[in-house]
């Protein structure tokens, strides 16, 4: 009986951990139009409004697609048609002073507006492109990356 009670107690104590893991998301899809997909852990998912975005996600839009994503620190990424963006790394732990935004613009059109990380730690933001890396010093920019 003691083993059963111990097992149940451990099970109940461990149960909240998956919920806490859900808080590790980087951001949320605020608007989506047309064909937009996310590649996540070798799976392709159709993007919907309210969907959570995580580090290592690759977001791609079709010919009729566009998407707006707001990260937890209020950084905004907007992608136009035929665009692809990889959110390589995202860390936002203000109480520990840990901040990172590392994204790769693969192709297409983008608008970026910095959030709290841009104000608190602008050196922690890097946007890679096929021809170089953008180190953010301002608050916003737009870019067009030609496809292969």
Percent helix, strand, coil in the chain (nearest 5)?
20, 50, 30
Instruction: Answer whether 0.95 is exceeded by the pTM.
Output: no
For 97-133, the pLDDT digits (tens) are: 999 999 999 999 999 999 999 999 999 999 998 887 7
Both tokens assigned to 71: 């990260």
Percent of the chain with pLDDT strictly greater than 90: 69
The span from the CA of 87 to the CA of 126, in Å, is 11
* Domain chopping of the chain, boundaries: 25-145
For 131-146, the pLDDT digits (tens) are: 877 766 667 777 778 7
The span from the CA of 136 to the CA of 121, in Å, is 10
């Amino acid at each position: 009986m003691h083993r059963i009670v111990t097992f149940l107690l451990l099970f109940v104590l461990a149960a909240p951990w998956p919920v806490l893991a859900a808080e590790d998301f980087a951001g949320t899809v605020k608007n989506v139009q047309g064909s937009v997909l996310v590649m996540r852990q070798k799976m392709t998912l159709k993007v919907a409004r309210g969907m959570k975005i995580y580090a290592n996600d690759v977001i791609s839009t079709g010919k009729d697609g566009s998407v707006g994503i707001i990260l937890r620190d209020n950084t905004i990424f907007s992608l136009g048609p035929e665009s692809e963006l990889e959110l390589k790394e995202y860390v936002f732990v203000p109480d520990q002073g840990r901040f990172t935004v590392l994204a790769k613009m693969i192709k297409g059109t983008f608008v970026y507006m910095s959030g709290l990380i841009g104000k608190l730690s602008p050196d922690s933001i890097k946007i890679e492109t096929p021809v170089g890396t953008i180190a953010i010093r301002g608050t916003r920019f737009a870019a067009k990356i030609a496809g292969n």
